[in-house]
Structure 1
């Protein structure tokens, strides 16, 4: 089963920010942890934020493994509302507009769910690829909460980049760099694009 990029070197060059979620994914036999790559020559102020978004997406591996063949659903409205309430509270503490933070995390949650659905489809079609061991969903969610708080801090620390006229250009560069450094699969690239689509909604018009 391919979690990130396909091919014999699919896990080479993953970024250090993904360590926490990648460790969770490893519980389902998904990934290994190689050395972090050298910094990109095209580094941007949004690299850390996009990297955290990718790390949060990777939590879908552990979440899917924990929910597989249980009564737990991929889409959990109660959990979503709990997360969004926490996002709004954290945004207020970090001087980030709660409405903006909520919009960002709605995209992030939906992108993460898309990966879980993809894994469920894979495992139904190829049962031998399904996880043998399941992480505890509470542990997965605790790691997700940690990443969420770090993302809110990055939203706060990068107000200028997120509201500048060149926000879209900067975000797209960070997206390309993250995809390249982590050697993300097509699924993860598309999910990360979805997760970051609202970053520049408050950007000034050039």
Structure 2
């Protein structure tokens, strides 16, 4: 009962909520997820300016195929890596849809710097993809039995606007669902 009240207080921002982290790889993984999710605003702005839909099925399929292929090099189960990145993509789209809706209501997008999708945004996302795979592998090595609890507490402590906080919850939706794997061996 005390834990539920503590979690509610943290979620509502009603007090100091410092928690001992049981998993040293969780915070760096969440930092990377947060960085990837921040790119959603820039992507939404590009799509607004160019009249492009949020849904980009071919791009998503290419990302998931690349992640599956790269997974073994990071000692990850390809299905886990694919599920993790599907969550990243869905969280990113959630932010994009919300931003586009906000801008439709306002009648205009904000006057922010624009970034080229091909030359700047996608290379940034590709770099984050590799870093996320490395950190997911590290997280898999140290993940606590209390993963879901630690994740909820860590997410409650994070700063950010409400939309990105919900995006973080979506991006980590399956993070603790996979069995802990100490090492995935390749070869005979």
Residue 56 of structure 1 pairs with residue 36 of structure 2: yes
Shift of 1:128: 4.2
Which residue, 27, 30, 42 being the options, matches 2:20?
A: 42
TM-score by length of 2: 0.78
Larger helix proportion of the pair: 2
Unpaired runs of 5+ residues, structure 2, are 1-17, 181-188
Distance 1:103 1:175, change over 3 A: same
Looking at structure 1, the residues matched to 178 and 112 of structure 2 have their Cα atoms a distance apart, in angstroms, of 44
**4+ aligned runs moved over 4 Å, structure 1:** none
Contact 1:165–1:203 at 8 Å: present in 2 too? no
2:64 is aligned to 84
Looking at structure 2, the residues matched to 89 and 173 of structure 1 have their Cα atoms a distance apart, in angstroms, of 32
Mapping for residues 81-160 of structure 1, pairs under 5 Å: 81-131=61-111, 133-138=113-118, 139-160=120-141
Contact 1:57–1:192 at 8 Å: present in 2 too? yes
Looking at structure 1, the residues matched to 121 and 154 of structure 2 have their Cα atoms a distance apart, in angstroms, of 26
Shift of 1:202: 1.9
The count of residues paired between Structure 1 and Structure 2 equals 160
Looking at structure 2, the residues matched to 198 and 153 of structure 1 have their Cα atoms a distance apart, in angstroms, of 17
Looking at structure 2, the residues matched to 148 and 132 of structure 1 have their Cα atoms a distance apart, in angstroms, of 25
**Structure number, greater radius of gyration:** 2
2:3 is aligned to none
2:160 is aligned to 184
Contact 2:48–2:109 at 8 Å: present in 1 too? no
1:196 is aligned to 172
Contact 1:67–1:137 at 8 Å: present in 2 too? no
Looking at structure 2, the residues matched to 41 and 171 of structure 1 have their Cα atoms a distance apart, in angstroms, of 11
Contact 1:60–1:112 at 8 Å: present in 2 too? yes
Residue 166 of structure 1 pairs with residue 146 of structure 2: yes
RMSD, aligned α-carbons: 1.9
